[in-house]
Amino acid sequence: MRKIFLTVALSIVTFGVSVAAKPTIEKPAAKHPTSFAIVIDSETYSKCQSEVKAYRAALDRDNLAVFTLSAQWDSPEQIREELKKLYKKNLNKMPLEGVVFIGDVPYVSIQNAQHMTTAFKMNESRFPIEETAVTSDRFYDDLNLELEFIKRDSVNSLRYYYKLAENSPQQLNPTFYSGRIIYPEQMGGDKYKEISRYLRKVVAERRRNEKIDYVVTYAGAAYNSDCLVAWMDERLAIDEMFPQLSERNDMAQLTQLNFRMRNAKEQLFDQIERAEVDVMLFNEHGSPDKQHLDGTDPVEGFERRVAALRDEVYYYLRREQRKKDGDLPGAKAYFKEKYRLTDKFFEEFDNPTQKAAANEDDLVLEEINKLRPMPRFVMFNACYNGSFHKEGYVAGSYIFGRGRTVVAQGNTVNVLQDRWTYEMLGLISNGVRVGQYNRMIATLEGHIIGDPAFHFAPIDDNKLREEMVTKSLVGKRANNVKNINYWVELMQAPNADVQSLALRTLADAGKLTAEELLNKYRTCNYATTRMECLKLLSRFGGACPEFVTAVSEALYDSYELVRRNASRYASMIGDESLLDECADRALNFPEDKRVAFILNSMWQIMPEAAVEEALEKTIAASYYPEKGYFDLFRKSVARSQKMKADDVEGAFDKEAKSNSRINAIRGFRNSTYHDQVPQMLAVVGDENEPIEIRIATAEALGWFNLSYRKQEIVEGLRGVKTSDVELSKEIQQTINRLK
């Protein structure tokens, strides 16, 4: 009996998955300053062995000590534990800087961590876990996170579901970088032959070791409010990230395409297949299997307008259909009434006998697979283009294409339009590995597809990619005087992103004060470095006077992205002292379309009396002579305040249904009504409130992370006494998020 019991016990691990056979670990062929791991499944390794070994040799020539871990992996936890052991064992001698997952390596989709994404906010209680969980390799590369096993997917054996634990760190801080080499089944053929071919391509491109001297950008329709000021200011960032492009009198070194241009899609095809292009940067909307270019003309003509309406209506019907308590007939009735639609309009939805016509301006997988993508690195600043868990995904079609593209960056879910798209990107001009760059801007959804250790030759001789690891200020190195001085010196480097990297490294180690960062912001001539200062100041929160001052000044920065993010921070802080500047920016600078769009949230979030006072003061001093302009603005503000009143009433009306109240409370995640904090805390602590309402309110308070009332929230939640386990967990998670 004892023997049987031990056998059963050994077949179980912490998260309910079976113990796997011990993996085979091949040690490095030589010692180097840093190390790297290849994680691969046994079948792929067997079928692609010579190419994997050639890739490993190429990494060795690139001064990386390479470990190869192969097995018929039974669980993600098994891989994570092996990487953790490898990391700890080599921390002081050959620190592990990165890992690549090749072939059929399990991947994890994470719940309870939407605050780690830039924009994803799907209701996890109303939609299926397959849609609400975010597929993310942060499970592997961020060893700080605590995650709890939920289940294995019943259809896709490689997919596992985990939940971020409430007592886990609630901010991302990857321990090392990672990348995925996983073949899209949609492309057809033998996946092992295609992986082998891809690895041969990587080895060949690594031998070339070229500098970045040709860059292409593309701006898609309906992105950043189609703001031309934002698009024009892209050039400021490009010049700082890739200063070498302006050193020669060659206009072809930088090509900036915009959907408004004539035959933009055809021009884009030419650039994708242009041999000398090193880097291509897409800023657009996306899906797993499409790039939404809208690249020729606006939606014109009756048929195209009807198609656009159909796509929009069908999108919302599908969402309603997927909800556990969705009302599909009610949704149809709503659209019939709103747009005067007949049953015929819904025929394709009800009986999908034929594929609806695709938007001719989309770039779909079938088209991409016929191209020969040439840029060595492609960024997809778009939703879903990096969905490597799908049978077909855009980033995969690029790297496995017949061109020279070897690495891409993409997202597994939707992504915020107003994120800092080009943050730290200039590091790749300095020879930094693509994975190292991606680690610096980590989100739950953002991934490197392809070889994460790939890098370009630096524009100036340096050892930055090595010294980012060996001179880091992590663990025992945090107080190393030589390392600290190294980064202090780089704060004055003649390169914007090298300065930004130095600032980030010192700030992560707690070596920079808010006062020092504010001074750096005020004195720095690099636009992107000023943006880094502003972002680092946000860590101090809305109660920090230096941060509030920086936001006030940044609203008038010469770089549109700084102004835009200052606008976003202003609403997240909630300090009424910022209202005058915000009103001035919105009223007197309407050409800043995205800034004005973001500032709309201020008129909804802030107290009505304070908003009206700032608005009237600005109107009185404005140089705009047209009265009608101000009247329209007043009406817009009135609508915003009405929305706030409706939200507040819906959230706190005890006579309303719980589902209705929860939906209203969830809206506080986007609209952080700072003046409602006392009332929200009262709900969390009220034992007479339904427990699901209390939990939803505690969760919503976790989104007030920059609020000037943050400490009040933390102290209020600590004072809540409850015996309910789920509420206690939610309170703990919110407190951890606000730390």
pLDDT over threshold 50, residue 310: yes
Asked if pLDDT for residue 8 goes beyond 50, the answer is: no
Q: How confident is the model at residue 3 (pLDDT cuts 50, 70, 90)?
A: very low
Local confidence band at 115 (pLDDT 50, 70, 90 cut-offs): very high
Please report, rounded to a whole number, the percentage of residues in the chain having pLDDT higher than 90.
78
Domain 9-187 has CATH 1.10.10.10: no
Considering only 121-135, 386-400, 611-625, which range has the smallest mean pLDDT? 611-625
How far apart (Å, rounded) are the C-alpha atoms in residues 361 and 296? 7
Asked if the model's pLDDT at residue 169 lies above 90, the reply is: yes
Answer whether residue 299 shows pLDDT above 70. Answer: no
Confidence of residue 302 (pLDDT cuts 50, 70, 90): low
Contact criterion met (CB below 8 Å) for 81 and 18: no
For the chain, the average pLDDT equals 91
Domain ranges for the chain: 9-187, 200-296+374-450, 302-350, 513-645, 657-738
pLDDT of res. 447: 98
pLDDT in tens, 575-594: 999 999 999 999 999 899 99
- Categorize the per-residue pLDDT at 357 as very low, low, confident or very high, splitting at 50, 70 and 90: very low
Question: Is pLDDT larger for residue 9 or for residue 83?
Answer: 83
What pLDDT does residue 272 have? 96
DSSP characters over 135-169: E-THHHH-TT--EEEEEE-SS-TTEEEEEE-TTS-
pLDDT interval class at 353 (50, 70, 90): low
Q: How far apart are CA 176 and CA 704, in angstroms?
A: 29
Rounded average pLDDT over 246-250: 76
Taking residues 102-117, what's their average pLDDT? 97
**pLDDT (mean) for 663-691:** 96
* Residue with the larger pLDDT of the pair 689 and 262: 689
pLDDT in the model for residue 730: 97
Angle at CA of residue 630, ends 627 and 636, nearest 5°: 145
- Would you state the structure tokens that stand for residue 297, as one six-digit string? 């003309």
Mean pLDDT, rounded, for 49-66: 98
**What pLDDT score was predicted for residue 344?**
85
Work out the average pLDDT over 234-260.
88
pLDDT recorded at residue 11: 34
CA distances in angstroms from 443 to 412, 446, 447, listed in the order given = 10, 5, 8
Confidence check: pLDDT of 259 > 60 = yes
Task: State pLDDT tens for residues 387-440.
Answer: 999 999 999 999 999 999 999 999 999 998 888 999 999 999 999 999 999 999
**Predicted local distance difference test score (pLDDT) of residue 137:** 98
Q: Which residue has the higher pLDDT, 737 or 479?
A: 737
Which residues lie closer than 8 Å to 577 by C-beta, 6 or more apart?
548, 552
CA-wise closest residue to 585 among 550, 617, 610, 618: 618
**What DSSP assignment string belongs to 90-115?**
TTTTS-EEEEEEESS--EEEEES-GG
pLDDT at 6 over 70: no
Contact 267, 366 (CB under 8 A): no
Cβ atoms of 136 and 444 within 8 Å: the answer is yes
Nearby residues of 294 by Cβ (< 8 Å), 6 or more positions away:
220, 221, 222, 259, 359, 361
Paired tokens of 268: 């884009």
Give the pLDDT mean for 72-95: 95
What would the DSSP string read from start to end of 254-292?
EEEEETTSTTHHHHHHHHHT-TT--EEEEESEEETTEEE
**pLDDT for position 728:** 97
Which range among 295-299, 324-328, 343-347, 489-493 shows the weakest confidence by mean pLDDT?
Answer: 295-299
DSSP-derived secondary structure letter, 667: G
pLDDT in tens, 509-567: 999 999 999 999 999 999 999 999 999 999 999 999 999 999 999 999 999 999 999 99
Cβ–Cβ under 8 Å, residues 610 and 579: yes
Residues 6 or more apart whose CB falls under 8 angstroms from that of 510 comprise none
**What's the pLDDT at 361?**
74
User: Which pLDDT belongs to residue 329?
Assistant: 87
Residue 455 pLDDT class (50, 70, 90 cuts): very high
Specify the pLDDT at position 303. Answer: 65
The fraction of the chain above a pLDDT of 70, given in percent, is 94
- Range picked from 108-112, 324-328, 343-347 for highest mean pLDDT: 108-112
Positive/negative CA dihedral, 408, 413, 418, 423? negative
Q: Tell me what pLDDT residue 264 has.
A: 82
How far are the Cα atoms of 325, 349, 419, 524, 696 from residue 352, in angstroms, in the given order? 23, 6, 37, 58, 38
Which amino acid is located at 102 in the chain?
I
Strand pairing report for 254-258 and 279-283: unpaired
